[in-house]
Structure 1
Amino acid sequence: VHDALCAVSRTMESNAVVPGGGAVETALSLHLEDFARTFDSYEQWAIAEFSEALLTIPKTLAINAALDAIDLLAALRVRHHASQNAGDPKKADYKWYGLDLSNGTVRNSVAAGVLEPMVSKLKSLKFATEAAITILRIDDLVRIAPEQEEGQ
């Protein structure tokens, strides 16, 4: 009950919701893949890796539901790709598609009522990104000195 009340509170706080089931992460991932291709430097690799990391959410959802993560993620990516490159208005709705863990398929998360408070999603993405940046900065700072051989 407490979790449900917190979800309602977050929704009221942000006054907006986004589709669940990995829909947001999949859409962001595909947009970032396209964005990465506009760079011809080291940044392309970093953006592409961040894009791939976003797919950890839908992949983990599928694995935790004991479903075939590869097939589901492929189906989800196909739908989102079709929505981003659609001239067909029917395919434009594919942007709302997320994982249906009950049936092992993808579906329109908005129509199914699988929604998340936008403020929670934004904070999660922001904190995860900041944590990764912090780890990378620490990794750059920490250098292990080579071991000295005896007599040197």
Structure 2
Amino acid sequence: MTILSQTPDTRGEHQSGQDVRTQNVVARRAVANIVKSSLGPVGLDICLFDDIGDVKITNDGATILKMLEIEHPAAKVLVELAELQDREVGDGTTSVVIVAAEMLKRANDLVRNKIHPTSIISGYRVEKLGKDSLVNCAKTSMSSKLVVTTTSLLIWLVDTVQSVKMTNQQREVNYPIKICIF
């Protein structure tokens, strides 16, 4: 009996360039579009069915994303981002997915216009935002679920957070803050 040894083809198919970037943006926008309709105080409820036919009705972005069976690697990154947002903050999963997908779409447009990805990334760095932008971000995020706060309180919060900013030797930024809600 002769056994033929054959090496499997492990080369696979390799794609790169603008087409791949565009496919990644489309996949991420598809995920964002799924949760977009559930955003905000007048967001719609979404009816989800699992593998055994159980029904779940929700407008919670984290719940919606957990029930989706996403296979595209770039789209999975958004789901992981939402999970991290839910773990760290407990809110804002839908918003973070929509904002990230839009930022990636805009970044893709900039790459098409021959702007180097490193320049685009540096433009997205939060530490380069001015105090007014940070206060406006705080106003937007806090007005969704919490009582309306005054601008002076938000300025104080932004100043406080910036005062505890730590940067390690690898230039990674950390804000050692634990939030307690009473």
TM-score normalised over the length of structure 2: 0.27
TM-score normalised over the length of structure 1: 0.31
Indicate the structure whose relative CO is greater, using CA pairs within 8 Å and at least 6 residues apart.
1
**Max Rg structure:** 2
Structure number having the greater helix percentage: 1
